[in-house]
């Protein structure tokens, strides 16, 4: 049976990436599993609007379709750019598998070619949105990273757990805020080795369903040193649907005609 409601696609990806690669702190693992249980266990299709503001330049807006298939410890995510015209047809495929490094592919309609994307390059830009692979795969653990529940803290009057992710070789850390009452990821921060915040993520708007449950509807990502702000808004989503296997095939996802 299909279910229609607003939910955070980026939060979905973050949580799934945590769960498909394992977690060495059991308390943190239990919290993240609870997050996944809130409705992110099924395949989905969603429409996103991404607005990017760079300094004093006029905002750039892109419309993107996202499809996700979650099964047996593997998570695949398909991104299809629809607007503006110069980005139309640009596609990305992200694949995560338990115990393996994530794989990312990009299809360029101008050349008709599919290329692998380097996932550890922080300067990579997904379709001119300002988002990089860390924003999508930023919570995929490295076996050398260390994880723990750092503390408990309130955000907007709501009690949260703060999960700390220490990067190897003292290259920095991430902090992830999970709201206690419904296990929603509401905020994250990426810090460099000097504890300076270099990237933040937070939920800025929620949608409430008829039965009173809340789901993230819009998120904001900020990059202070570049004066960049990115707003990711989910216009609609459908969960529990059948998705064609070609959407998640590296050899076919670029040219497969999935829309009527």
What CATH code is carried by the domain that includes residue 128?
A: 2.50.20.10
The span from the CA of 118 to the CA of 104, in Å, is 7
Tell me, yes or no, whether 90 lies in a domain: yes
Q: Maximum distance among all alpha carbons in the chain?
A: 51
The span from the CA of 217 to the CA of 48, in Å, is 10
* Digit-coded pLDDT (tens) for 116-133: 987 665 556 677 777 766
pLDDT reading at 180 higher than 80: yes
| Residue 102 and residue 85 in contact, taking contact as beta carbons nearer than 8 Å | no
- Reported as a pLDDT band with limits 50, 70 and 90, residue 109 is very high
CB neighbourhood size of 85 (10 A): 7
Count of structural domains within the chain: 1
The span from the CA of 106 to the CA of 136, in Å, is 14
Distance between alpha carbon 158 and the CA centroid of its chain, in Å? 22
The span from the CA of 183 to the CA of 161, in Å, is 9
Tell me, yes or no, whether 86 lies in a domain: yes
Tell me, yes or no, whether 260 lies in a domain: no
Q: What is the mean pLDDT of the chain?
A: 80
Query: For residue 87, what are the domain limits?
Result: 3-248
pLDDT reading at 139 higher than 50: no
pLDDT at 121: 59
Tell me, yes or no, whether 256 lies in a domain: no
The span from the CA of 72 to the CA of 92, in Å, is 22
Q: Residues in the chain, how many?
A: 260
pLDDT reading at 6 higher than 50: no
pLDDT reading at 138 higher than 70: no
Tell me, yes or no, whether 31 lies in a domain: yes
pLDDT at 28: 80
Tell me, yes or no, whether 253 lies in a domain: no
| Residue 108 and residue 90 in contact, taking contact as beta carbons nearer than 8 Å | yes
Tell me, yes or no, whether 257 lies in a domain: no
Whether the model pTM is above 0.85: no
Tell me, yes or no, whether 223 lies in a domain: yes
- Reported as a pLDDT band with limits 50, 70 and 90, residue 97 is confident
């Amino acid at each position: 049976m299909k279910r229609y409601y607003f939910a955070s696609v980026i939060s979905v990806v973050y949580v799934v990436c945590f769960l498909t690669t394992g977690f060495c702190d059991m308390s943190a693992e239990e919290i993240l599993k609870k997050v996944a249980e809130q409705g992110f266990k099924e395949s989905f299709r969603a429409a996103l609007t991404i607005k990017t503001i760079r300094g004093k330049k006029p905002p750039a807006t892109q419309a993107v379709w996202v499809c996700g298939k979650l099964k047996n410890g593997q998570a695949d995510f398909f991104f299809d750019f629809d607007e503006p015209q110069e980005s139309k047809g640009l596609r990305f495929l992200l694949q995560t598998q338990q115990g393996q490094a994530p794989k990312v592919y990009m299809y360029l309609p101008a050349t008709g070619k599919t290329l692998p994307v380097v996932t550890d390059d922080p300067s990579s830009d997904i379709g001119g949105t300002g988002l990089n692979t860390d924003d999508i795969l930023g919570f995929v653990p490295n076996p050398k990273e260390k994880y723990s529940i750092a503390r408990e803290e309130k955000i907007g009057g709501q009690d949260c757990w703060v999960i700390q992710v220490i990067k190897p070789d003292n290259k920095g850390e991430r902090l992830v805020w999970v709201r206690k009452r419904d296990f929603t990821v509401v905020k994250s921060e990426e810090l460099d080795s000097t504890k300076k915040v270099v990237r933040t993520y937070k939920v800025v708007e929620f949608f409430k369903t008829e039965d009173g449950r809340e789901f993230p509807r819009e998120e904001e990502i900020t990059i202070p040193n570049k004066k960049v702000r990115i707003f990711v808004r989910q216009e609609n989503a459908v969960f529990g649907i059948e998705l064609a296997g070609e959407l998640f095939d590296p050899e076919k996802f670029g040219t497969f005609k999935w829309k009527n």
